[in-house]
């Protein structure tokens, strides 16, 4: 009966109009951000990629359709998905330096699906899920240190097909999140909202154009940014019922911006290595 009730409004014209608006808005945000990645260095591109480019609109649209407790449960459920994304990046980086984009992404997505299903079973509430996510991300950062170099991301001529691929991936996610919110509850919605959409779209576009090694560099440099995602989701889960989505969602966004900005600032202030000839 619950599924029938959830499906009741799907046939309305208003539902489809709202869904189309959500798809177009989210796709526009992700396309603009992913185009910007190709015009900056790997670290700056990685920090752009780990902003809530797709998750932010997804949670905003959920806030329009659901109560605060639904968003809190979704935020907790998203934490294993963040940890699984770290494992996705590690798997992709290991494969991409020697394999093509299809095999690299296929293997990495298989790892993500297995990880998110396995980690979600561990439970532990907000504290347990948060600590687990941090542990997995830190482990992946250490494991991928040798892959954090491999070339810069050169500017390339834009193609209409590139934009269509990026937009298509994001719009598919929006549809999945909206329908999951109506049919499957906050758990599945939280997982889908943190699916590695931006990482997949970057790999699909960059890997054939600049090679697997350089693309792996961008993705592995994004791993520290995922820690900001964990902090933002934790803050959202703690504040959304007390202060409401109108304050909790901007706070979560501010946390990711501050975290990624801090990473860029720390990297800029780091002393440059001394050349061998000067030693």
Backbone φ and ψ of 159, nearest 5°: -125, 145
Report the C-alpha gap between 86 and 2 in whole angstroms. 34
Which residues, at least 6 apart from 220, have a Cβ–Cβ distance to it below 8 Å?
A: 46, 89, 90, 93, 144, 147, 148
> Which CA distances in Å does 47 have to 19, 112, 130, 203, 257?
28, 21, 21, 15, 9
| Element at 2 (helix H, strand E) | helix 2-7
Q: What is the mean pLDDT of residues 79-99?
A: 92
Q: Where residue 177 falls among pLDDT bands split at 50, 70, 90?
A: low
Q: Is residue 187 a contact partner of residue 48, using CB atoms and an 8 Å limit?
A: no
Q: Tell me: the pLDDT tens digits for 5-24?
A: 444 455 566 667 767 777 77
Closest CA to 241 of 126, 134, 129, 132: 126
Q: Could you list the residue range(s) of the whole structural domain that residue 99 is in?
A: 19-269
Give the mean model confidence (pLDDT) for residues 108-133. 89
Tokens at residue 242, please?
Answer: 């007390």
What pLDDT, on a 0 to 100 scale, did the predictor assign at position 3? 46
> What does the pLDDT average to over 30-50?
72
H or E segment and range at residue 76: helix 68-96
**What DSSP state is assigned to residue 147?**
G
Q: State the burial class of residue 95 (Cβ atoms within 10 Å of its Cβ: 0-12, 13-18, 19+).
A: buried
Stretch 178-202: mean pLDDT: 73
Is 272 a residue whose pLDDT tops 90? no
| 156 C-beta neighbours (distance < 10 Å), count | 13
* Mean per-residue pLDDT, 87-106: 91
Kindly tell me if the per-residue pLDDT of 98 is higher than 50: yes
Q: Are 263 and 231 in contact (CB under 8 A)?
A: no
- The CA dihedral of 132, 133, 134, 136, to the nearest 10 degrees, is 80
User: Does residue 2 lie in a domain region?
Assistant: no
What is the biggest distance separating any 2 CA atoms in the chain, rounded to whole angstroms? Answer: 74
253 or 49, which is more confident? Answer: 253
Closest CA to 88 of 191, 180, 228: 191
Helix 68-96 with 125-143: angle, nearest 10 deg: 20
pTM of the model: 0.79
Query: How many domains, in total, are found in the chain?
Result: 1
């Amino acid at each position: 009966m619950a599924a029938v009730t959830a499906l009741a409004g799907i046939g309305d014209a208003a539902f489809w109009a709202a869904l189309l608006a959500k798809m177009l808005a989210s796709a526009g945000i992700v396309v603009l951000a992913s185009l910007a990645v190709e015009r900056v260095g790997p670290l700056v591109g990685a920090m752009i990629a780990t902003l809530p480019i797709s998750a932010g609109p997804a949670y905003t649209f959920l806030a329009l359709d659901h109560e605060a407790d639904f968003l809190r449960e979704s935020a907790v459920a998203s934490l294993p998905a963040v940890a699984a994304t770290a494992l996705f990046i590690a798997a992709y980086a290991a494969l991409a330096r020697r394999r093509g984009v299809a095999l690299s992404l296929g293997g990495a997505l298989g790892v993500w699906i297995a990880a998110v299903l396995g980690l979600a079973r561990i439970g532990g509430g907000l504290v347990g899920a948060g600590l687990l996510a941090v542990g997995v991300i830190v482990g992946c950062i250490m494991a991928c240190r040798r892959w954090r170099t491999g070339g810069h991301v050169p500017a390339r001529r834009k193609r209409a097909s590139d934009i269509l691929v990026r937009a298509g991936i994001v719009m598919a996610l929006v549809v999945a999140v909206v329908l999951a919110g109506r049919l499957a509850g906050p758990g599945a919605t939280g997982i889908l909202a943190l699916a590695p959409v931006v990482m997949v779209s970057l790999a699909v576009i960059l890997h054939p154009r600049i090679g697997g090694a350089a693309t792996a560099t961008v993705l592995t440099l994004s791993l520290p940014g995922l820690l900001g995602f964990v902090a933002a989701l934790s803050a959202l889960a703690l504040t959304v019922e007390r202060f409401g989505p109108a304050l909790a969602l901007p706070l979560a966004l501010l946390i990711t911006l501050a975290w990624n900005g801090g990473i860029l600032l720390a990297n800029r202030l780091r002393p440059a290595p001394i050349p061998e000839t000067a030693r």
